[in-house]
Structure 1
Amino acid sequence: MDDFMQPARAFLDWFSAWPGTTFHDDIEIVDLRDRGAGRGIVAKRDIPVDTVLFTIPRKAIISTTTSELGTLLPSIVQVPDDQNEDEDDEEKDVESPSEQDAWTSLILVMIYEFLRGSQSPWKPYFDVLPAVFDTPMFWTDDELRELQASPVVGRVGHAEADKMIRIKVLAFMRIYSNIFFGRTGVPTLGDDEIMELAHRMGSTIMAYSFSLEKDEDDEGSGSAAKTEEQEDVEMDDGNDVANERQNGEEHKHGPDCDHDHGHDSDDDSDNDLSGWVEDKDDKLPLGMVPMADMLNADAECNAHIAHGVDVLTATAIRPIRAGDEILNYYGPLSNGELLRRYGYTTEKHAFFDAVDVPWPLLQNSLAKQLQLQPAEAAKAAAAAEADEFEDPFMLDREFDEDEETGQLKAPEGCTSSTMLSELPPMLVRQARAFIKVALRQQQKRREKALASAPKSKQTGKNGKNSKSQTPPKTEKELVAAGLAHALKERLDQYPTSLQQDRELLASGSVAPGSRLHSALRVRIGEKGLLTEAIALAKKMEVDARDEAKAAAKADKDASKTKKSERRGDDDNQASGKRQKR
């Protein structure tokens, strides 16, 4: 344990050496491996709300504007104007090692500072950063199979990350090998070694970096780091840095650095790729923030990090008891997303669990209800689309969140084990739109076929139209049955049942914090949502059937009433005629 905590003690000494840093006497860095959490920060004594826990000057953050590499290679902080960027421009940028973005620029900075070793002012910080990660990017094929049919598997994105690293990091480092190797004194690394190091730094950034806001004033309400909007930034993120730096006299960076670096940002991006390159929500500058990333995080937090002009400040947002861990907030992420991005899961993140249901699966299931051929189903879907159909649909649960105290509350009647109160309204509307159009097209085909058929086939016995013994399903019944069938098919894609997974997790045979433990949490949450969605769809089907029966009975009763009224009229007329005679 002592060996494990030694780098943390050295890191705290180093952190305290930076002018402008503070670290409250009532908190400490501790070993939390018994909780499966590595190192973390806990309260030594009760801490009142609004207590400043620690502060970090922006000069202590690792970024393109604080690292020596930004001075040596100004191009890594200069991003071309992308106001009129189109898809071709984006693809061109991806293919060019000369044009860096916020993500790859920080990877290059991290590699450079790491290679500098003891020459880097951030050496003690690197010593507490992990060298091994539990994100699925680093799982074996057997371990990934434990995630079963989770959408997380398709979003690992190792191939995309490899491509980006080869084009933008490896090629760039080869061009400037005199800086990355000659200047640092490190022997030139081979391609595989650079790829491995870049993956390590990319994963470090994925798990620990912050999007750096800049408030208008120190007392402003800066957003907590890693908020939902700025949660995680992708590899091909763009970033407008206001202070474009020019070549000039070398500047020494470190604790005594007096170089003032500003950060501006431009929120304007919307890419959707896989893995690392998928998580772009904004164009805020990225940085590694010592001490802030020492905080672990959960769905319920008790600390908030505000971004001031010169410093970042961690503050208690509610009273913290002695012995409690101080927790940050990474956003409303499902356990699947938490695992993919940060390599762990928590019980409380079950509030945010989610699972995808692809539209083609739903469309095929709805089509089966009407016995449509694939071409007919595709035609109905195309005709039903006012705009593009949503695909996939995400099932997730509702929750109430107290932003001031960082606490969660399930809606009335809901807990983290009862996740759904209703099916997504858009899912139901989209299914109804498809069924409505399909029924209309089916009726037109029936009428056309009937019109062209011989008269003898148009009628039944006695020349009257034959009637089906079983009334056709109503639109609502078809929708509900199709949804229930599709959701069951989605659940069946997982080879084990929800009950089996719950029993395995409860057996105690799976080590907490292990990769299998994380996989179990992920798939249990997803299967739970699907199971509840199936129950809701089946209830919808029963309700629709009862409604149809009630309507049919009402029609039948109305028909009987009309017949009785007609018979009464006929009897009255007959009686009147007899009286006249």
Structure 2
Amino acid sequence: MAESFQHAGHSDFDQTSAQFIKWFTEADGTRWSSKVQLQDLRNENAGRGAVATAEIAEDEELFAVPRSLVLTTTTSNVPPTAIQPLEETGTWPPLIVTIIYEYLKKDDSPWHAYFKVLPTTFDTLMFWNSAELAELQASAVVQKIGRQQAEESWRETIIPVMLAHPDQFPVPGATPVERTVELIKLAHMAGSLIMAYAFDIDRDDTRTNNDDNDDNDDDNSSGDNFEEDDEDEPFKGMVPFADMLNADADRNNARLFQESDYLIMRATRPISTGEQIFNDYGPLPRSDLLRMYGYITDNYSQYDVVEISHDLLVDVAGKKHNQENKAWLKREEQLDELGLVDDGYVVHRPEPNAQRLDDVLPGQLHMLLRALCTHDNDARAIKKPKDAITIEEAALLQAVLTKRLTEYSTSYEADQAICEALQSDSPSTVVPLSCHHRRYLMAVQVRMGEKEILRQWITLCQFHIKQKSEEMASGSSKRKYDATTGFQSKQAAKKEKHR
């Protein structure tokens, strides 16, 4: 996996890899294709990775991991008294405790060789200092980190359990306060391992080739506080070897499948000799890639997004003073009842060939724009818009996007210059104090991507307004409608009906 931590020297790295492979192949029930080799890809900034040593056919098995080797709360011999108090806390806290338990056992843990190839330090946003996080500027990802919330939750749940079993969780410290500090550090490590490496494991015994991608679903969008409360959520498990695969949005060629007794990695297309074997995280924006995995790649830029807050939309529309906008409050309540009001709305990167605002504007956001632009108590504002986006709606969206762009403290052009300098022969001259070079570069690249999206959308709004204005001026539009509200007048409708 593309790893975001500092490795040991070359000989130690190779020795650790060899020990892991020996442990894996000698474990009961494991299968490993001779066509797959674990290689040192640090020169490609990719840590360890799996490479094909011979031609691999589509659907061919690459390796198989028996469920007994997957690290979960049930395969570990972690004391039940350390897990039972956490049964109502979701799937993450018990697994965090389990990982800490096995990690502290060192050589006595069945997974010791596995832990030696996993990181203990990370470049994920949870570990950035305040100066580094500030370089993300107005990116909404900063609000998803949740470090303080995570630690507060741990102090109420997993820390008391581990403090109550000092022999099972031996950490330095003469007092509970000192041991708590150490356990919090370990909890961050374990939680980050789950975030970056864990897979979803079916709860029941009806497992038939269900796709089981890495833990990167929307359940992480609420923050990195490592809390999952859905009782239908699959178990989380650490799957040895499966997490050694790097990920690529365009070149992914393998996927993990679940069977009754095994988790099996299979090729999803033919793989050539010498080709790296890739898993896929799914359509993750680079901001979430950085938040969850601690690195970014250019080929995930196609999934970049910008989040527009509900408050910003209301503010720019002039509806902020609620008492003066009772009609809007009523419409907002109706929209909320329909499940159309959120704290924020995601704006995706337009497709390269996108030329029309109508093709990229999500229906939910269009309905909100229509409601904000509708005057008085027009009930049509809460219905799904059937008309094209009006000039007023496009103008409001443009104003919102423009204001959102101003929330970033540097321009796109300034960021371009910074990136060029950071990748020059003397990058240290532009790195701010208290910032690590690599983290600073990734922050600039993430915020550049978001600014680029905003600029693209603003251009689409401008083109839409220009086009609609020209249509109105020339009278080329067959349907007569109010340019302000977008609704066809009754008089125009009658005339059109009798034509």
Alpha-carbon separation, structure 2, partners of 1:336 and 1:387: 29
* RMSD, aligned α-carbons: 3.4
- Whether 1:293 and 2:243 are equivalent positions in the alignment is yes
Q: Deviations over 1:523-580 (max 9, x none)?
A: 122111111111111222223333443469999xxxxxxxxxxxxxxxxxxxxxxxxx
Alpha-carbon separation, structure 1, partners of 2:271 and 2:194: 29
Equivalent position to 2:374, from 404, 413, 436: 436
Equivalent position to 2:25, from 16, 36, 55: 16
- Amino acid in structure 2 at the alignment position of 1:24: S
Equivalent position to 1:161, from 150, 161, 177: 150
> Cα–Cα, structure 1 residues 71 and 434, in superposed 2: closer, same or farther, change >3 Å?
closer
Task: State TM-score, norm by structure 1.
Answer: 0.69
**Within 5 A, what are the aligned runs for 1:557-572?**
none
> Cα–Cα, structure 1 residues 330 and 378, in superposed 2: closer, same or farther, change >3 Å?
farther
Alpha-carbon separation, structure 2, partners of 1:46 and 1:224: 25
- Whether 1:395 and 2:404 are equivalent positions in the alignment is no
Asked if the contact 1:214–1:309 (Cα under 8 Å) also holds between the matched residues in 2, the reply is no
**Within 5 A, what are the aligned runs for 1:525-564?**
525-550=449-474
Percent of aligned pairs with the same amino acid: 34
Asked if the contact 2:255–2:268 (Cα under 8 Å) also holds between the matched residues in 1, the reply is yes
Asked if the contact 2:203–2:235 (Cα under 8 Å) also holds between the matched residues in 1, the reply is no
- Amino acid in structure 2 at the alignment position of 1:423: L
> Cα–Cα, structure 1 residues 544 and 362, in superposed 2: closer, same or farther, change >3 Å?
farther
Asked if the contact 2:199–2:212 (Cα under 8 Å) also holds between the matched residues in 1, the reply is no
Alpha-carbon separation, structure 1, partners of 2:370 and 2:81: 60
User: Which residue of structure 1 aligns with residue 331 of structure 2?
Assistant: 384
Alpha-carbon separation, structure 1, partners of 2:228 and 2:89: 17
Asked if the contact 2:91–2:229 (Cα under 8 Å) also holds between the matched residues in 1, the reply is no
Alpha-carbon separation, structure 1, partners of 2:95 and 2:288: 22
Q: Deviations over 1:195-230 (max 9, x none)?
A: 111111111111111110268677x332132276xx
Task: State TM-score, norm by structure 2.
Answer: 0.80
> Cα–Cα, structure 1 residues 493 and 232, in superposed 2: closer, same or farther, change >3 Å?
closer
Equivalent position to 1:497, from 400, 404, 411: 411
Q: Is there any run of 5+ residues in structure 1 with no aligned partner, and where?
A: 80-98, 235-271, 399-410, 442-474, 556-581
Asked if the contact 2:37–2:53 (Cα under 8 Å) also holds between the matched residues in 1, the reply is yes
**Within 5 A, what are the aligned runs for 1:162-561?**
162-181=151-170, 190-213=179-202, 220-226=208-214, 231=217, 273-277=222-226, 283-300=233-250, 301-367=252-318, 374-375=321-322, 378-385=325-332, 386-388=334-336, 389-397=341-349, 413=353, 421-438=359-376, 476-507=390-421, 508-509=423-424, 514-550=438-474
Query: How many pairs does the alignment contain?
Result: 443
Q: 1:504 offset after TM fit, Å?
A: 3.3
User: Which residue of structure 1 aligns with residue 61 of structure 2?
Assistant: 52
- Amino acid in structure 1 at the alignment position of 2:244: M
Q: Which has the larger radius of gyration?
A: 1
**Residue range with higher mean Cα deviation, 295-304 or 516-525:** 516-525
Runs of 4+ in structure 1 deviating by more than 4 angstroms, as ranges, are 70-74, 186-189, 214-218, 277-282, 418-421, 438-441, 510-513, 550-555
> Cα–Cα, structure 1 residues 75 and 482, in superposed 2: closer, same or farther, change >3 Å?
same
- Amino acid in structure 2 at the alignment position of 1:106: L
> Cα–Cα, structure 1 residues 233 and 531, in superposed 2: closer, same or farther, change >3 Å?
closer
Q: Deviations over 1:490-545 (max 9, x none)?
A: 01111222233234334523699921232123112211111111111122222333
> Cα–Cα, structure 1 residues 210 and 503, in superposed 2: closer, same or farther, change >3 Å?
same
Aligned residue for 2:317, secondary structure, equals helix
Q: 1:273 offset after TM fit, Å?
A: 4.7
Q: 1:47 offset after TM fit, Å?
A: 1.9
- Amino acid in structure 1 at the alignment position of 2:123: D
Asked if the contact 1:155–1:274 (Cα under 8 Å) also holds between the matched residues in 2, the reply is yes
- Amino acid in structure 2 at the alignment position of 1:339: L
Equivalent position to 2:78, from 69, 73, 88: 69
Q: Is there any run of 5+ residues in structure 2 with no aligned partner, and where?
A: 1-9, 380-388, 429-435, 481-499
Alpha-carbon separation, structure 2, partners of 1:358 and 1:232: 18
Asked if the contact 1:69–1:109 (Cα under 8 Å) also holds between the matched residues in 2, the reply is yes
Q: Deviations over 1:402-443 (max 9, x none)?
A: xxxxxxxxx67269xx999522232222111221135869xx
Alpha-carbon separation, structure 2, partners of 1:491 and 1:157: 24
User: Which residue of structure 2 aligns with residue 112 of structure 1?
Assistant: 101
Asked if the contact 1:232–1:279 (Cα under 8 Å) also holds between the matched residues in 2, the reply is no
Q: Deviations over 1:337-364 (max 9, x none)?
A: 1111111112121121111011221222
User: Which residue of structure 1 aligns with residue 117 of structure 2?
Assistant: 128
Q: Deviations over 1:427-478 (max 9, x none)?
A: 222111221135869xxxxxxxxxxxxxxxxxxxxxxxxxxxxxxxxx9332
Alpha-carbon separation, structure 2, partners of 1:480 and 1:304: 42
Alpha-carbon separation, structure 2, partners of 1:158 and 1:376: 37
